[in-house]
Amino acid sequence: MDTQRQDVLEDLRAKITTGKLPPGSHLTERGLCAEYAISRTPIRTVLRELAAEGLVVVSPNRGVFVAEWTTTDAAEVMSIRALLEAHAAGLAAHSRSDSQLEELNRLCDRMEEIAREQKDGYRAEIAELNHELHLLILESAASPRLFNIAKDLALAPLMSGSFQYYSPDELHRSLQDHRLIVDAITHRDEHRARALMEGHLRTSYAALTRRR
């Protein structure tokens, strides 16, 4: 894939998964061509790839829309994520490197700083850093097979856009959860890391479904 098309694909994927493009948003070839200064052929390829990932749906005679997620979809993703990422957190407590720990703490610091400053678009910025943290924990588990299975679920559009729906207290709690999970990983406490990650994802899902 050429660099320009890859850049467009990654940018649209990020906008969808962080909620910048919410479910139901209409994506037109003409609008995307103008936005990215690219021709229709690569845009059509990008939209096909996003459709294959389940991030957009193509409706005959209507166009392309950001995918809607049903309650059943969300519950299934949450349950699988809770199992896989809790397992990953437990493995990470044994396998993480010092550099990975340093980066996990940096991500926590940055998210808390952004939450305090509350500049325009801060929730979307936190969501992107949240992706990085969850993917880094998966990577720190040192299980390539687990990483490949779980990484796409970690970017599922409904769950990954959840920061857009949180109340201030729920956002603060979520960031505190991150600190506790990283602390458990730091101290190689496998059981606490597992329990905290599972609780974090299930609580996040409950907050999301209430506010949606």
**Strand, coil or helix: what is 187?**
coil
Place of tokens 């990954």: 160
The count of C-alpha atoms lying within 13 angstroms of the C-alpha of 5, restricted to the half-sphere facing its C-beta, is 14
The dihedral region occupied by 121, where left means phi > 0, alpha psi between -120 and 50, and beta the remainder, is left
pLDDT for position 187: 98
pLDDT band for 107, please (50, 70, 90 cuts): very high
Q: What is the mean pLDDT of residues 168-182?
A: 95
Tokens 């005959």 belong to 60
* Bridge pairing between strands 56-59 and 26-27: unpaired
Provide mean pLDDT across the span 7-15.
88
DSSP 8-state secondary structure symbol assigned to residue 68: P
Strand-pair partners of 59: 63
Pair 115, 171: CB distance under 8 Å: yes
> Can you list the alpha helix ranges (DSSP code H) found in the chain?
3-17, 29-36, 40-52, 71-95, 98-117, 122-140, 144-154, 157-160, 168-186, 190-211
Q: What is the pLDDT of residues 49-82, one digit of tens each?
A: 999 878 899 988 899 999 877 777 777 888 899 9
Q: 105 to each of 5, 77, 113, 137, 149, how far by Cα in Å?
A: 33, 26, 12, 11, 25
pTM: 0.73
Quote the CA–CA distance of 145 and 6 in Å, as a whole number. Answer: 24
CB atoms within 10 A of CB 75: 12
Most confident of 1-15, 91-105, 151-165: 91-105
In this prediction, residue 143 carries a pLDDT of 97
The pLDDT score that the predictor gives to residue 38 is: 94
